[in-house]
């Protein structure tokens, strides 16, 4: 069974802090890794993709990948109340995309 | 929503009735996907298509069928709806160019309730 695990949260951080979201996966053949943001009642929105070990930065977001540890993380710097949402980790291998159940993040003003 | 529409957006139906959900894209993307999202389970792949009349099963395909007669349309059919199929259904598409066919973009979703 290919699994993607995330802490369900809720994760609560104050405005301006760093939010750290974590994800582990079981399929060692996974090739591509994604983070989606989903506001309540809305569809998932792609915010980051990462394909090789290390860090990838895009504005306030940094994705980190460690294939040996089967671990993906997302850091959100200078968190804003508008970042309050559920963050979905997704792992792809050969036309099979598996999603974690999501971590709910709340950023308090 | 990357040129993706879904219809209907909301539907209430009764157990045993057939239901068809439609996904329409204007992006000319080759790959199209149907997911369902349930609390505690995240998104789970039902079926996907890699071209006109080319489809394959996903993780939770039992009770569902799909068809794709045109590039822009991908239909999901519940032949005889059951209460366990109450869910939010999302369609997704991915890039035609093939450099990263794995990057998926989602439609607005259809909320289906089976009574």
Q: Does A3 touch chain B (CB under 8 A)?
A: no
Q: What is the pLDDT of residue B100?
A: 62
Nearest by CB: A46 against B50, B58, B105: B105
Residue ranges of B 21-80 with Cβ closer than 8 A to chain A = 33, 35, 40-45, 48, 50, 56, 58-59
- Check pLDDT > 60 for residue B1: no
Q: What is the pLDDT of residue B75?
A: 98
Contacting residues of A for B105, CB less than 8 Å apart? 46
- Check pLDDT > 80 for residue B99: no
Nearest CA-CA partner of A9 in A108, A101, A109, A71: A101
Q: Does A65 touch chain B (CB under 8 A)?
A: no
Non-local (6+) Cβ contacts of B38 within 8 A are: B44, B87, B88
Q: What is the pLDDT of residue B81?
A: 97
Percent of chain A residues topping a pLDDT of 70: 100
Mean pLDDT of chain A: 94
Say how many Å lie between the first and final Cα of chain B, rounded.
29
Phi first, then psi, for residue B85 (nearest 5°) are -95, 5
Residue listed under structure tokens 């970042």 = A83
Nearest CA-CA partner of B18 in B61, B64, B84: B64
Percent of chain A residues topping a pLDDT of 90: 85
Q: How far apart are CA B17 and CA B15, in angstroms?
A: 6
Q: What is the pLDDT of residue B10?
A: 97
pLDDT band (50, 70, 90) for residue A98: very high
Q: Does A5 touch chain B (CB under 8 A)?
A: no
Nearest by CB: B41 against A36, A90, A101: A101
Q: What is the pLDDT of residue A31?
A: 87
pLDDT band (50, 70, 90) for residue B102: confident
Q: Does A101 touch chain B (CB under 8 A)?
A: yes
Q: What is the pLDDT of residue B95?
A: 74
Q: What is the pLDDT of residue B2?
A: 64
Quick: pLDDT tens for B25-72. 998 888 999 999 998 888 999 999 988 999 999 989 999 999 999 999
- Check pLDDT > 80 for residue B78: yes
User: 10 Å Cβ neighbour count for B60?
Assistant: 18
Q: Does B98 touch chain A (CB under 8 A)?
A: no
Mean pLDDT of chain B: 92
Identify which has the larger pLDDT, B102 or A42.
Answer: A42
Residue ranges of A 9-38 with Cβ closer than 8 A to chain B = 31-32, 34, 36
Closest residue of chain A to B47, computed from CA coordinates: A96
Q: What is the pLDDT of residue B108?
A: 96
């Amino acid at each position: 069974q290919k699994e993607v695990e995330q802490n369900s949260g809720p994760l609560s951080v104050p405005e301006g802090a760093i939010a750290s979201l974590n994800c582990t996966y079981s399929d060692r053949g996974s090739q591509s890794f994604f983070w989606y943001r989903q506001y309540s009642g809305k569809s998932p929105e792609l915010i980051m993709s990462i394909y090789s070990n290390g860090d990838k930065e895009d504005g306030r977001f940094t994705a980190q990948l460690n294939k040996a540890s089967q671990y993906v993380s997302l850091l959100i710097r200078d968190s804003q109340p508008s970042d309050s949402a559920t963050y979905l980790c997704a792992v792809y291998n050969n036309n099979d995309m598996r999603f974690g159940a999501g971590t709910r993040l709340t950023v308090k003003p | 929503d990357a040129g993706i529409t879904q219809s209907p957006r909301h539907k209430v139906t009764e157990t045993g009735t057939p239901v068809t959900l439609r996904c329409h894209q204007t992006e000319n993307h080759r790959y199209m996907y149907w997911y369902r999202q349930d609390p505690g389970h995240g998104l789970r792949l039902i079926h996907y298509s890699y071209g006109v009349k080319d489809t394959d099963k996903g993780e939770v395909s039992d009770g569902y069928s799909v068809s794709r007669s045109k590039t822009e349309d991908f239909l999901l059919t519940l032949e005889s709806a059951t209460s366990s199929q109450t869910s939010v259904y999302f369609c997704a598409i991915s890039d035609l160019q093939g450099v990263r066919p794995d990057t998926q973009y989602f439609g607005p979703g259809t909320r289906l309730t089976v009574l």
